[in-house]
Amino acid sequence: MKRRTLFEKLWDQHVVYKEEGKPDLLYIDLHLIHEVTSPQAFEGLRTKNRKVRRPDLTFATMDHNIPTVNRTVIKDETARNQISALERNCREFGVELADMESEDQGIVHVIGPELGLTLPGKTIVCGDSHTSTHGAFGALAFGIGTSEVEHVFATQTLWQQKPKTLNIQIDGELGEGVTAKDVILYIIGKYGVRFGTGYVIEYSGSVIYSLSMDERMTICNMSIEAGARAGLIAPDETTFSYIKGRKYAPKGEAFERAVEQWKQLASDERAVYDKTAVIHGDDIGPMITWGTNPGMALSVDKRVPVLDSYLTKEEKREAERAYFYMDLTPGQPLENLPVQHVFIGSCTNSRIHDLREAAAFVQGKKVASTVRAMVVPGSEAVKRKAEEEGLDAIFTAAGFEWRHSGCSMCLSMNDDAVPEGERCASTSNRNFEGRQGKGARTHLVSPIMAAAAAVYGQFTDIRKISDKEGDHHASAVSSS
Ligand SMILES: CC(C)[C@H](C(=O)O)[C@@H](O)C(=O)O
Ligand code: SF4
């Protein structure tokens, strides 16, 4: 029998209709929805007098627009309308909703895994580009547009052109202070934001398999920023033990049976990918983006690149625009660049592992007087867990704001924004112009790098701090 990759197995298991020269029709096992991309889709159903075909395979949360301080005051009218539309639509169409009062509420890509809705072998879609996050479980998960949301509502299926396969193998180990966020920023920095276009990326190699689920999700989350349709990691014991006992996960014997099936999903030995890349863990440093797309990323000890290193005309133009927007000069060091805002949050880096890493660094230190820093947990469950562990106390004692969960300053659809011209160290996934507010300057970093920026008021190479402060930092990180 033909040797197949993880992706090919997932695809084959879900094709329900196939015709030469046309996209395939895929069955969808889980449809996640949020307030921003669902209203028109529901409206479409209503006009056509159709139902949600499988409300039991559909799950809703509110995350993008909602306040992270006082949940009851929503100043923005669009936000208010989208939130009340979601409540109305879920009631009318019988879809379960984690609303702002729910203990299950959180960013859609954080709660899916947390609730055990995200499972290996599933096809998962959501009207949201970072649906790629769920691929960390060996699920085929990708973002869809609003008209596709309506199609999935009505039919529980989706037309899809079969993507190609790309294996990125990360060998060796990661150095001290280097995290999953740095791995994915390194990949996008090295290969660019179009490298994955038309592909589903499978991440493999010793670095990947040594990571926790929280860290694997960080990597798959940003697959879309490399241009890919989805990201995947083969499920293993780490995956199975994460899932065991979660609210909607199979229980008892059903769980054991499921694990046996999930074990079959890994790519067959010597299965062939359309494209491959190999990188080494020790080549990766603590990363920071200097420009206005996630590919404009470098190790923090490097300097803003000079134009000569840019090949195409278009890239030159993009870089020039980025220098201007970011107020940086080619050749300028990234270390010691002052920041005024620090945001620890978003579906990339707001899970318990991220908060533990940041808190371990922050413990006993203070946020610089020139910085406004906030932690926005990815879900109410992450928030409760962090509070149980005393992380909130560490953050607030240092001068961080401690918020309710939501997308928040990742894209500033609520009240949390970076003022024009100011710089933010952000653990999110996009540094586009205006992303965190009009004229705001975003630098993407890992949670520990963000924590260090908060304390020092400037970007700092975390490896040098560990040297200065002895073993304190290294031991705090490895214990989490
Ligand atoms: C609002 C939503 C459609 C959007 C996305 O698709 O990713 C958002 O989540 C983002 O991160 O930019
Ligand atoms: S946290 Fe940011 S990237 Fe993630 S879904 Fe929300 S807005 Fe999109």
Q: pLDDT tens digits, residue range 211-233?
A: 999 999 999 999 999 999 999 99
The residue whose CA has the least distance to atom 8 of ligand 1 is 128
Return the pLDDT at 426: 98
Question: Quick one: average pLDDT of 130-154?
Answer: 98
Return the pLDDT at 310: 58
High-pLDDT (> 70) share of the chain, %: 96
In this structure, the dihedral spanned by the alpha carbons of residues 444, 447, 452 and 453, taken in order and rounded to 10 degrees, is 30
Predicted confidence band at 473 (pLDDT cuts at 50, 70, 90)?
very low
CB of 411 sitting under 6 A from ligand 2? yes
**474: pLDDT strictly greater than 90:** no
Residue 136: which H helix or E strand, with range? none
Dump pLDDT digits (tens) for 252-269: 999 999 999 999 999 999
Strand partners, 280: 171
Q: CA 311, 312, 318: angle at the middle one, nearest 5?
A: 105
Take residue 83 and report the two structure tokens written for it: 């939130």
**What predicted TM-score, i.e. pTM, was given to this entire model?**
0.96
Compute the distance from residue 109 Cα to the ligand 2 centre, in Å.
8
Confirm whether the ipTM is greater than 0.90: yes
CB of 429 sitting under 6 A from ligand 2? yes
Predicted confidence band at 466 (pLDDT cuts at 50, 70, 90)?
low
Residues 184/216, Cβ–Cβ less than 8 Å: no
Reference 228, options 139, 126, 132; nearest CA is 132
Please choose from 40, 108, 128 the residue to mutate so as to test ligand 1's pocket, defined by most ligand atoms within 8 A of CB. Answer: 128
Q: Which residues line ligand 1 (CB under 6 A)?
A: 36-37, 64, 128-130, 143, 411
Q: Which residues contact 436 (CB under 8 A, 6 or more apart)?
A: 341, 343, 409, 410, 411, 412, 417, 418, 424, 426, 428, 442
Residue 340 backbone dihedrals phi, psi, to 5 degrees: -110, -15
CB of 160 sitting under 6 A from ligand 2? no
CA atoms in the 13 A half-sphere facing the CB of 284: 29
Strand partners, 26: 15, 158
Ligand nearest to the CA of residue 411, numbered in listed order: 2
**287: pLDDT strictly greater than 90:** yes
Return the pLDDT at 475: 39
The radius of gyration of the chain from alpha carbons, rounded to an integer in Å, stands at 22
Return the pLDDT at 1: 77
Helix (H, G, I), strand (E, B) or coil at 102: coil
Compute the distance from residue 47 Cα to the ligand 1 centre, in Å.
26
Which domains are seen in the chain, by residue range? Answer: 6-275 (3.30.499.10), 293-478 (3.30.499.10)
Separation of alpha carbons 267 and 9, rounded Å? 8
Return the pLDDT at 72: 85
Dump pLDDT digits (tens) for 318-367: 999 999 999 999 999 999 999 999 999 999 999 999 999 999 999 999 99
Residue 130: which H helix or E strand, with range? none
Take residue 63 and report the two structure tokens written for it: 């995350």
**471: pLDDT strictly greater than 60:** no
Residues 376/344, Cβ–Cβ less than 8 Å: yes
Compute the distance from residue 410 Cα to the ligand 1 centre, in Å.
10
CB of 222 sitting under 6 A from ligand 2? no
Return the pLDDT at 467: 56
- Ligand 1 atom with least separation from CA of 36: 1
Dump pLDDT digits (tens) for 158-190: 999 999 999 999 999 999 999 999 999 999 999
Helix (H, G, I), strand (E, B) or coil at 142: strand
Dump pLDDT digits (tens) for 329-341: 999 999 999 999 9
Separation of alpha carbons 311 and 253, rounded Å? 57
Question: Quick one: average pLDDT of 201-215?
Answer: 98
Return the pLDDT at 219: 98
The residue whose CA has the least distance to atom 2 of ligand 1 is 128
| Least confident piece of the model among 26-40, 62-76, 109-123, 170-184 | 62-76
How many of the other CB atoms lie within 10 Å of CB of 307?
12
Q: What is the DSSP letter of 372?
A: E
Does 347 show up as a binding residue in the annotation? yes
CB of 64 sitting under 6 A from ligand 2? yes
Return the pLDDT at 54: 98
| Least confident piece of the model among 10-19, 151-160, 309-318, 327-336 | 309-318
Compute the distance from residue 306 Cα to the ligand 2 centre, in Å.
31
Take residue 410 and report the two structure tokens written for it: 């990742």
The residue whose CA has the least distance to atom 2 of ligand 2 is 410
Predicted confidence band at 307 (pLDDT cuts at 50, 70, 90)?
confident
Residue 262 backbone dihedrals phi, psi, to 5 degrees: -60, -35
Helix (H, G, I), strand (E, B) or coil at 169: strand
Residue 354 CA: distances (Å) to CA of 53, 62, 212, 216, 314: 37, 22, 11, 12, 36
Separation of alpha carbons 210 and 231, rounded Å? 17
Dump pLDDT digits (tens) for 75-109: 899 999 999 999 999 999 999 999 999 999 999 99
Does 410 show up as a binding residue in the annotation? yes
Residues 454/361, Cβ–Cβ less than 8 Å: no
